[in-house]
Structure 1
Amino acid sequence: MHPLMKRARRLGAPAVAALLLSAAANAQGVSPRQLVEVADLGELAVSPDGSRVAFRLQQPSVERNTHDTTWYVQPLDASTPARRVGEGGQPLRESDGASLAPAGVTWSPDGRFLYYRALLDGRVAVWRARADGSGARTVTRDAADVRGFRLAADGRSLRYRVGATRQQMRDAEQAEYDNGIHIDATVALGQPLYRSGRLDGRAATQRLHGGDVIRSPLLAGVADRWRALDLATGNTREVSGGAPPPVSPAHARVAPFKAWKLAWDAHAARVAMLVHVTEWQGVGPRPEVALSVLAAGKGARPVQCRDPLCTGKPITAIQWRPGHDEVLFTVTDADDSQAQSIFRWNVASGRVLPVVRTSGLMNGGRGVPGTCAASAAALVCVAADARHPPRLERVDLDSGDRRVLFDPNAALAADMASVPVQRLHWQDAAGRRFNGLYFPARRAAREPAPLFLTYYRCSGFVRGGVGDEWPLATLAGHGISALCINAPPSVLDAVTRFEIGRSAIESAIALLSSRGEIEPGNVGMGGLSYGTEVTLWMAMHSHTVSAASVSSIAFSPLAYTLMSLSGEPFFSRLRTYWQLGDPAATPAQWKRLSPAFNLDRIHIPVLMQLPEQEYLHTLDYAVPLIRDRRADLYVYPNEAHQKFQPRHKLAVYERNLDWFRFWLQGFEDPQPAKAGQYARWRMMADRRGAALPGQAPD
């Protein structure tokens, strides 16, 4: 008998139907691997004559467990396909595992070359690629990695900055290994200490610099040294004066305005500014900004945009339209899954006109910050929404017409065309408004489906929530509806913040249950970072969730001890956002927030898939849960806050899929390699003393 049917013998008829539908859907649904290997686009730059755009493609590979990056150039009129012009090397990433350090792409003034930073052959250098695709080569050959560079206005030279040499970093790491690592406020306790994380493409010893979270290489604190390179001769010299002077004489006049964002029009010596106009003592985006322009000239005063389309709006990005008196600005709607619209403000006339309105992102396909690349006639944007993976689009600035220039994810987009996604809006009993993206389950009949939900941010092409760990489209294809909820801007008080999250979740469950779409007693939840905190809050304070999956820490006395050596940066953050101090000084708040003091309230199974950098912080509550068969813990080596390695991403996706199908559907994948996990999970189920969904009583 087929293993699927052996399992089905223990299930009722509705569950058997669901299993058979799911088996049929496997061949045509969106797979976890497809979501892991989505290609991303970024670093857009329009050529000096406005006729071409340069961009970088990043493509994960599960097979080789790496990310490939490639530079392309394409005409804005799409008269020819994109041309590959050079390798981008391994992505330059920040220590959180998610943020990409910019490559700093720059066109030469004559439009013949592209300059960019790339990690190739074990070093970060400045490369130059011919825009016609005829070749690329490194132009800096420094013993130290290049931290940043600037091309001269005439294109004949460039200045770049470096820190410690690669050999100096290796020697410093080895010296610590040989002599012992001195523990001080810069050491990130709770993770391996010697070459314990990947930075700049290699296993590197890490240190905390300027805070209690962000890690940097051991000698990152070495001051910048600037060097000038003659591109014709290859001669390099030290630059004693440091960085080049600012490009605009108006910099000093801008400082008093405390601008959040600036966009310089170097040709007209003027600057567009976004300035926060209200104090904001909460968590999340500040609610209101003012858009203005400060012109050149002594005594000039800012000219503020007064049109209704630019006042009281959540403007998140600004840039100048080349050769025009127009500022292009992006509005990001927090009440609609960060859907973005772009407008143009004519500074001379004061008139604002819409350019494009979308249901997703137009700024890079991932996070909210960022802009499109602009020519005088068009924008070039990376567009992405819930059903469409990232693609490169040209948007005409006058007509708003959109045209796809480059689509590396066309096959996945075709598969996503059959995945229904709804932009969901609802209110709780207090009248608070919430929104998210809802993936209804594929079902054989109209019986209510189980529900998985994640809580944090849901912008652009949502693969698996923040951190990309729960494959939403895949879950829906296997009969589990999935909901990604956008956390609203909230107050600093932690209990209030988490209770708002609970209200958002419980009211969404009530709404979908009232429609007959989901089973209110068969709900799973997962989240990263803030999403982990809210997931564990639900496990401790709500009866609406029946299985959970987390990928980050929640604060506990052990985490406090490990992080407290960082001193005031850590203590200040803890006081501000969680109202926590030393556990002995603020015991009541610790008992409210920490799972370590609420173990008796956690009655649901919890899957923990944590990075090696963080898992030790959880052991004072994870170990008791594991011993009591309420939790299952996996740790991913050489991973930071957000996992980065494609094989790890795939393993996380697949295990989360298995986890929620087991607890919400009573389904076990018959693959022999998974027998061990199911044996543990059955023991956890037996400990709970309750039958799995659809399972007939013994």
Structure 2
Amino acid sequence: MTTAGTESRPVDPVDLLRRRDIGYMHLGPGQRLIALSPDKSRAAFLMHRADPSTNCYCVALMVLDLGGAAPPRILDQGDDLLMEAVTMRGMEVEYGLPRPLLPSWSPDGKRVAYLRKADGLAQIAEVTLADGNSRQLSHSPVGVEQFAWDAAGTGFVYRDRPARLAARAAIRQEGDKGYLVDDRILPYAGTTPAIRAPLPQELHHITGDGAFTELVTANDRACLDAARANERAASGAPQLMPSGWTLAKTQAVPGSYSSPTYMVATRPDGRKLPCDDPACRGSLFADIEGAWESDRPGEFIYLKRDGWGASQYGLYLWKAGQAPRRLLLTDDLLLGCESLGARLLCAREQALRPRHLVTIELRHGAHVEELFDPNADYLALAQPHVERLRWRNAHGQESFGDLILPARPVPGRKLPLVVVQYVSRGFLRGGTGDEYPIPAFVQNGFAVLSFHKPSPLFAVEGNDGTLASILPRLNEDWADRRNIHSSLMAGLDLVLARGDIDAQRIGISGVSDGSTTVQFGLINSPGLFRAASIGSCCVDPTAMMIYGGSGLARERTAWGYPPVFGPGSQKWQPLALAHNPSSLMAPLLMQLADSEFIVAMETLAAYEKAGRPIEARIFPQEHHLKAQPRHRLDLYCRNLRWFGFWLDQPIASGTCRADIEDYVRWTDMKAHAAKSD
């Protein structure tokens, strides 16, 4: 704690990198995070921390006594994150995503099992609470995909995909005669064909004494299926409660991707009680993200996106057959919640506070009690000032973001501003992709607008609700990009109207979809942004329709993208920097994964031809979301220095020391660009 007469030290980029994360920072809606013991007296969860000195992550299996009788306990440890491939266009693709992992308690509450990384693969590890003894039980040659305790409650049933080995062997053999160029070839990622998905699954059984067998009973299979259905708190599948009641999130228009949803409770006698109240309804962009039974049969708690532009979370109590009652409306991010009967256990994030565990009382005014904060030391650091902003775009759509300002700005001195995107919920760390250290920018004298991308509400109106109808609407004359840009411009107008922001020193940043917002902003608001930085690049004709491969080209054509050549190709102009005058090309930093670098070439070549300031960096063995701790720290630091240089703001960070080579190179860029203007 800070003592009288002392100043809290500022937040350094390494402070952000070294936060202890309960689960992955970008957890999906409804994704479960915490495993309760059978008697609900303890909670198990996984926590990790980046270590740039080793370029690895420390992973810990934690157990927390919910009654507070014992301090949090590290039950087991690992030395790196488990990553998972995603399926895109029918192919297995590495994306840079850590696997969301949920521990599992034995039925007797004496052991906890989880997936631990061993020789690069996910294997089942079991830990005994009494003595902390840990043992690896599975030895899958391709890694365990899903596991559960068996029907007897003493062993495990799991699924994996050994066919992956045969698929890899077949690709190697195909290489002897040359790879056939088809939709398996993703040129931006390399020349080796991707593996088609899904591969067939195989089920295996590990008995209580650790013996391996292929004998999997129907009851064992049911345990595994139940574990999969239980991964999300409101998946839509009916949830059977201990009281015998069933709760389901149901589509108002079955089969429609954009259908509203509502809650339906079913009594033990089979009678259905739907909730027709508007507060019980979710939507595609403001859905119900979790639902649980309270300590009273037939009474349920549910959590949904709520408030202005779905910027908040509403916690509701619903007695089946009655109107729901809202207990809580908060700007905080609540996730991974579990029912403790009369309380709800949740992970919570606040704008200036990393994830921590709390309980919310259901009977006493939604009182919030803190249980465990793995980052209590972070609260002792000097914190900036944050304001939640709300506005409407030109189409009347509700939009929001957060303005983060120095706690003690210099009176009369206007601040440079950096836009960070594109989700502004929870802890304001580094934006989507976590490459832009918001608190460190502010500690160095910047203001930051953390901009939340508006949902494409217009695209689901007046059609049949299928993706085939929605996606072309998004890209018709780049309607979604224009909607996002309109919200961003209205937000910037609101910020600039304050009078404390320097309109001549605005930068913009983004990763993934945020990168596309950067492109569109540079082209459609000429001269507004003095510098830009992107962590992926770019939605260009060659990137989408050539370097992405034939599968991506067919997909984007179906989405309404223009052709790369010939009639209609001029429609790329509002989005592709390479198809615009060099005067729109603000100084641009591109920090790219090696698996995606090639799709940046059209923009890079256009900048170089025009003599405009550009710097591209390639980070080896990375994917769309960069994960290596050393790379993440370097991304933080270079982004600080880049915007410091181009927005004329000195950077004083203990970790991010001045780089004389960067300074000389960027000074030469600036001088060359000045001669060309």
Instruction: Give the superposition deviation at 1:566.
Output: 3.9
**Structure 1 stretch 680-689 or stretch 580-589: which is displaced more?**
580-589
Q: 1:307 to 1:624 in 2, by over 3 A?
A: closer
Equivalent residue runs for 1:147-186 within 5 Å? 147-164=145-162, 181-186=179-184
Distance 2:675 2:260 in 1: 50
Query: Please, which of 420, 423, 446 is the counterpart of residue 388 of structure 2?
Result: 423
Query: Please, which of 529, 534, 545 is the counterpart of residue 529 of structure 2?
Result: 545
Instruction: Give the superposition deviation at 1:49.
Output: 0.7
Alpha-carbon contact 1:115-1:126 (below 8 Å) kept = yes
**Structure 1 stretch 169-178 or stretch 522-531: which is displaced more?**
169-178
Alpha-carbon contact 2:337-2:347 (below 8 Å) kept = yes
Question: Match for residue 469 of structure 2?
Answer: none
Question: Match for residue 207 of structure 2?
Answer: 230
Amino acid paired to 1:636 = F
Distance 2:72 2:171 in 1: 43
Q: Secondary structure at the match of 1:456?
A: coil
Query: Please, which of 315, 326, 329 is the counterpart of residue 302 of structure 2?
Result: 329
Alpha-carbon contact 1:424-1:437 (below 8 Å) kept = yes
Alpha-carbon contact 2:311-2:400 (below 8 Å) kept = no
Amino acid paired to 2:115 = R
Instruction: Give the superposition deviation at 1:191.
Output: 2.4
Amino acid paired to 2:519 = L
Distance 2:8 2:673 in 1: 34
**Structure 1 stretch 672-681 or stretch 35-44: which is displaced more?**
672-681
Query: Please, which of 82, 85, 107 is the counterpart of residue 75 of structure 2?
Result: 85
Instruction: Give the superposition deviation at 1:496.
Output: 2.6
1:555 equivalent to 2:534? Answer no
Distance 1:630 1:408 in 2: 42
Q: Secondary structure at the match of 2:451?
A: strand
Q: Secondary structure at the match of 1:262?
A: coil
Q: 1:172 to 1:575 in 2, by over 3 A?
A: closer
Distance 1:651 1:309 in 2: 45
Question: Match for residue 11 of structure 2?
Answer: 30
How far does the alpha carbon of each residue in 1:585-631 deviate from its partner, in whole angstroms, 9 at most, with x for none?
A: 53132233222212535231111111111110110221231351321
Instruction: Give the superposition deviation at 1:414.
Output: 2.5
Q: Secondary structure at the match of 2:280?
A: coil
Query: Please, which of 602, 605, 611 is the counterpart of residue 623 of structure 1?
Result: 605
Q: 1:243 to 1:599 in 2, by over 3 A?
A: farther
Question: Match for residue 349 of structure 2?
Answer: 384
Instruction: Give the superposition deviation at 1:498.
Output: 2.1
Question: Match for residue 370 of structure 2?
Answer: 404
Distance 2:628 2:548 in 1: 29
Q: Secondary structure at the match of 2:331?
A: coil
Root mean square deviation of aligned Cα: 3.4
Equivalent residue runs for 1:434-513 within 5 Å? 434-441=399-406, 442-490=408-456, 491=459, 492-494=473-475, 495-513=478-496
Question: Match for residue 255 of structure 1?
Answer: none
Distance 1:54 1:184 in 2: 45
Q: Secondary structure at the match of 1:404?
A: strand
Instruction: Give the superposition deviation at 1:574.
Output: 4.3
Distance 2:7 2:640 in 1: 12
Instruction: Give the superposition deviation at 1:186.
Output: 1.6
Distance 2:628 2:490 in 1: 36
Query: Please, which of 310, 315, 328 is the counterpart of residue 342 of structure 1?
Result: 315
Equivalent residue runs for 1:108-123 within 5 Å? 108-123=106-121
Amino acid paired to 2:349 = A
Alpha-carbon contact 1:456-1:486 (below 8 Å) kept = yes
Instruction: Give the superposition deviation at 1:632.
Output: 0.9
1:64 equivalent to 2:65? Answer no
1:306 equivalent to 2:312? Answer no
Instruction: Give the superposition deviation at 1:79.
Output: 1.7
Instruction: Give the superposition deviation at 1:165.
Output: 7.8
Question: Match for residue 39 of structure 1?
Answer: 20
Alpha-carbon contact 1:629-1:683 (below 8 Å) kept = no
Q: Secondary structure at the match of 2:432?
A: coil
Q: 1:242 to 1:73 in 2, by over 3 A?
A: closer
Amino acid paired to 1:674 = D
How far does the alpha carbon of each residue in 1:12-61 deviate from its partner, in whole angstroms, 9 at most, with x for none?
A: xxxxxxxxxxxxx9982211111122221133011111111111111111
Q: 1:579 to 1:565 in 2, by over 3 A?
A: closer
Question: Match for residue 291 of structure 2?
Answer: 319
Instruction: Give the superposition deviation at 1:266.
Output: 5.2
Distance 1:354 1:180 in 2: 62
Instruction: Give the superposition deviation at 1:340.
Output: 2.0
**Structure 1 stretch 500-509 or stretch 54-63: which is displaced more?**
500-509
Give the % identical residues. Answer: 24
Distance 2:181 2:153 in 1: 47
1:74 equivalent to 2:64? Answer yes
Distance 1:208 1:166 in 2: 8
**Structure 1 stretch 589-598 or stretch 517-526: which is displaced more?**
589-598
Distance 1:631 1:158 in 2: 54
Question: Match for residue 462 of structure 2?
Answer: none
Alpha-carbon contact 1:97-1:644 (below 8 Å) kept = no
Task: Please list every run of 5 or more consecutive structure 2 residues that lacks an aligned counterpart in the other structure.
Answer: 1-5, 24-32, 86-93, 229-233, 460-472
Question: Match for residue 660 of structure 2?
Answer: 675
Distance 1:557 1:632 in 2: 21
**Structure 1 stretch 454-463 or stretch 591-600: which is displaced more?**
591-600
Q: TM-score, normalised by structure 2?
A: 0.83
Alpha-carbon contact 2:168-2:195 (below 8 Å) kept = no
Distance 1:176 1:291 in 2: 51
Q: Secondary structure at the match of 1:434?
A: strand
How many residue pairs align between the two structures? 624
Instruction: Give the superposition deviation at 1:276.
Output: 4.2
Alpha-carbon contact 2:430-2:437 (below 8 Å) kept = yes
Distance 1:168 1:319 in 2: 41
Alpha-carbon contact 1:378-1:394 (below 8 Å) kept = yes
Distance 1:553 1:248 in 2: 39
Distance 1:280 1:664 in 2: 50
Alpha-carbon contact 1:556-1:620 (below 8 Å) kept = yes
Distance 1:566 1:172 in 2: 21
Q: TM-score, normalised by structure 1?
A: 0.81
Distance 2:254 2:420 in 1: 30
Distance 1:38 1:672 in 2: 21
Query: Please, which of 582, 586, 593 is the counterpart of residue 611 of structure 1?
Result: 593
Instruction: Give the superposition deviation at 1:312.
Output: 6.0
Question: Match for residue 580 of structure 1?
Answer: 562
Distance 2:277 2:399 in 1: 28
Query: Please, which of 127, 130, 135 is the counterpart of residue 129 of structure 1?
Result: 127
Q: 1:518 to 1:277 in 2, by over 3 A?
A: farther
Question: Match for residue 470 of structure 2?
Answer: none
Distance 2:583 2:268 in 1: 63
Question: Match for residue 261 of structure 2?
Answer: 289
Q: 1:119 to 1:429 in 2, by over 3 A?
A: closer
Alpha-carbon contact 2:84-2:96 (below 8 Å) kept = yes
Question: Match for residue 138 of structure 1?
Answer: 136
Distance 1:165 1:122 in 2: 18
Instruction: Give the superposition deviation at 1:555.
Output: 2.2
Alpha-carbon contact 1:89-1:118 (below 8 Å) kept = no
Q: Secondary structure at the match of 1:532?
A: helix
Alpha-carbon contact 1:336-1:423 (below 8 Å) kept = no
Distance 1:617 1:76 in 2: 49
**Structure 1 stretch 654-663 or stretch 433-442: which is displaced more?**
433-442
Distance 1:664 1:561 in 2: 35
